[in-house]
Amino acid sequence: MTDNVMCNPISYEQELIDAIPVPMFFMDVEGAFIGSNQAFNSFIGKSDAEVREMGVYQLLSGNNVFRHEEIDRILLINGSIQPFEEEAIGAHSKRYFVRYRKALVHDVKGHVTGIVTTIVDLTDLREVEDALMASESQKKAILDGFPGVLALFDNNLSAIWVNDAGRRTGGKSIGKPCHDIICKSTHHCRDCAVTQSVQTGEVEVAVRAIDSTSGGVEQFFEVIGTPVKNAQGEVENVIVIARNITKRFELEKQLRQTQKMEAVGTLAGGIAHDFNNMLTPIMGYSEIIKLRMSQNGFDDELISEYLGEIFKAGKRAKNLVEQILTFSRSSEQKESRQYLHPIINEVLRLMRSTLPSTIEIDQDIDKTCGPVSIDAVQIQQILINLCTNSSEAIGQEHGKLTVSLKKGALQDDTEEEWLELTVSDSGCGMKQELLERVFDPYFTTKEKGRGTGLGLSLVHSIITNHGGHISVATEKNIGSTFRIFLPVSKEATRFDQVLTVSNEPLEEEKRVILVDDDAQVVQVTSELLKSIGYQVNAFTSPVAALEKFQENPETYDLLLTDLTMPRLTGVELCNMVKVVRPELPVILFTGYSESLDNVVVSDSCIDEYCLKPLSLVELSQTVGRLIGRDQENIN
């Protein structure tokens, strides 16, 4: 066998070449294909004869034959050439990414006889590299896309790696300490989460308050330090996450304020019911005494004046309770037709007790102005914000705040009726360049901690949401004037109907069944009704009232009942009465207005509803109107 091999060296060489698993082929110095090994034949999917006929470079590179021929020419001139990588076409037109290596072939005398080319398939390796690169890109995108600072520090608190947010915050961050990157401070923070994480080997969390470089606005950051330990359990690095949680702080602050206002609202609601019940006899008896004095010919102007002041004080107390309920109420604001002059008067009365005595308040209110469709609280917010803004513009100096209401007009709208509400002051005014930003959220010229910059933005939002317009004129050291235009409401509402004055005379023989669990309210309301000519059957128990009514239901012309009572609520009583007498007019009254909002508005068994304490005029108009309406229905 050995003799055969030695006698056929070419066969021996071919077998040796075929045993090499790497595809390889040979070219002579003229560029003609000489042969290849079996690995190349398998790779290309062709025999040597087919390769020779079709052209090796044509098979491998398609239209890129010239490149290989040029590389071979350079190799023959220089004697060597660097490996190169490119795409190659294999069997069944499959494409591979390969590395070509080329070397000269010499004969025994050292003459160049050809070129040998080897092919290493890098396709799998390239796919792995591509996958790794994609993975690295994804990781980088995730880390750099993190909205806060994400960084890796050594145990000396020097930065090793920092994401984009950290680089934006700390500039060239590598090697910088954590306090320089996160807090922009020259010294270590007290209770630093990073330092504590190195010391304890545990995850540590801290919150840092940082003054922003823009305008001195305080920002809050949550800093989390997570230790990275070696095999011995020693902390080598710390992963640090720092997130801006200022917005969360603000939301938590707002939540606390909302919860506080809800608590105040709950407390105010309970107080309001009892307080208005107490006001009922105070206001009612003052009117009864005044009426009895007139009926008995007792004319004392001073006593009449005293009684009038008692009644006015009670009415102001009633309005004050409603103000507290309105501001603390957590329910959604509800639009209704509002006449602005009583709201303006009430707000200015409250503002007088809060503004410095050096500020004179002047008002010019046209009480003939029509109503607007808006929530009363929002009008109050507008006035309070504008008046407060004017007060702060005046400061501690002597000055004047002027509020006016009149019928207005817009140049571009001749069909709509408008109201013009103006708030002006003699304060410091504003620079003209600030006017463009005066209604922007969070814009403020006040010192840090003295304002949120939301007051005028809120005013602008309320006005525009109700189809209105607001403008401001200002002059430095002269003052500012805010002009608000709101469209007059033309739509009638139930509220307007309740306040409509009835001119119908009261009937002498009409009987009212009165129900309230508060004995004082029953007594004074009964006296008021009797004083204007009604017969009254009064009860402090709704169950007793229902039983009496059921004995002779046709006797009664109207039911006047409280809402909140033990054993039977006013609404339940009304429903039971309406089963027997569907046409019987019903008035529901209560000391807590939100109870009406939640219960009565949608209840069809109620004809009218009103708030305690009721004045004699309100009681007379409401009862007289309903009994008159009922009389018309009967006839």
Where does residue 320 rank: exposed (0-12), middle (13-18), buried (19+ CB within 10 A)? middle
Domain with residue 592: its CATH number is 3.40.50.2300
Identify whether residues 53 and 106 lie together within a single domain: yes
Is 70 exceeded by the pLDDT of residue 261? no
Residue that is written with structure tokens 């062709």 in the block: 46
Identify whether residues 383 and 510 lie together within a single domain: no
pLDDT bucket at 585, cuts 50 / 70 / 90: very high
pLDDT per residue as tens digits for the range 92-133: 889 999 999 999 999 889 999 999 999 999 999 988 988 888
Taking alpha carbons only, the member of 155, 119, 129, 138 closest to residue 40 is 119
Q: Quick check: is 389 in a domain?
A: yes
Q: Are 612 and 280 in contact (CB under 8 A)?
A: yes
Comparing 478 with 268, the larger pLDDT belongs to: 478
Is 50 exceeded by the pLDDT of residue 268? yes
Cα separation, 338 vs 380, in Å, equals 12
Identify whether residues 346 and 465 lie together within a single domain: yes
Identify whether residues 468 and 510 lie together within a single domain: no
> Mean pLDDT throughout 421-429?
89
Q: Which stretch of 198-212, 297-311, 535-549 has the lowest confidence by average pLDDT?
A: 198-212
Q: How far apart are the first and last CA of the chain?
A: 139
Domain with residue 425: its CATH number is 3.30.565.10
Cα separation, 71 vs 80, in Å, equals 10
Phi-psi region at 610: left, alpha or beta (left = phi > 0; alpha = psi -120 to 50): beta
Cα separation, 397 vs 403, in Å, equals 19
What percent of the chain lies above the pLDDT cut of 70? 82
Comparing 424 with 274, the larger pLDDT belongs to: 424
> Mean pLDDT throughout 25-50?
92
Write out the residue range of the structural domain in which residue 100 sits: 2-126
Cα separation, 378 vs 145, in Å, equals 41
Is 80 exceeded by the pLDDT of residue 502? no
Identify whether residues 408 and 342 lie together within a single domain: yes
Is 70 exceeded by the pLDDT of residue 313? yes
Positive or negative: CA dihedral 515, 519, 522, 525: negative
Q: Quick check: is 588 in a domain?
A: yes
Domain with residue 6: its CATH number is 3.30.450.20
Identify whether residues 119 and 212 lie together within a single domain: no
Q: Quick check: is 41 in a domain?
A: yes
Identify whether residues 481 and 369 lie together within a single domain: yes
pLDDT bucket at 491, cuts 50 / 70 / 90: low
Q: Are 558 and 630 in contact (CB under 8 A)?
A: yes
For the chain, the domain total comes to: 4
Q: Quick check: is 236 in a domain?
A: yes
Is 50 exceeded by the pLDDT of residue 586? yes
Q: Are 615 and 308 in contact (CB under 8 A)?
A: no
Identify whether residues 122 and 150 lie together within a single domain: no
Q: Quick check: is 24 in a domain?
A: yes
Q: Quick check: is 102 in a domain?
A: yes
Identify whether residues 403 and 478 lie together within a single domain: yes
Identify whether residues 51 and 179 lie together within a single domain: no
The per-residue pLDDT of the chain, averaged, comes to 81
Comparing 5 with 177, the larger pLDDT belongs to: 177
Identify whether residues 164 and 198 lie together within a single domain: yes
Identify whether residues 480 and 543 lie together within a single domain: no
pLDDT per residue as tens digits for the range 340-395: 888 888 888 878 877 888 889 999 999 889 888 887 778 888 888 888 888 888 88
Q: Quick check: is 533 in a domain?
A: yes
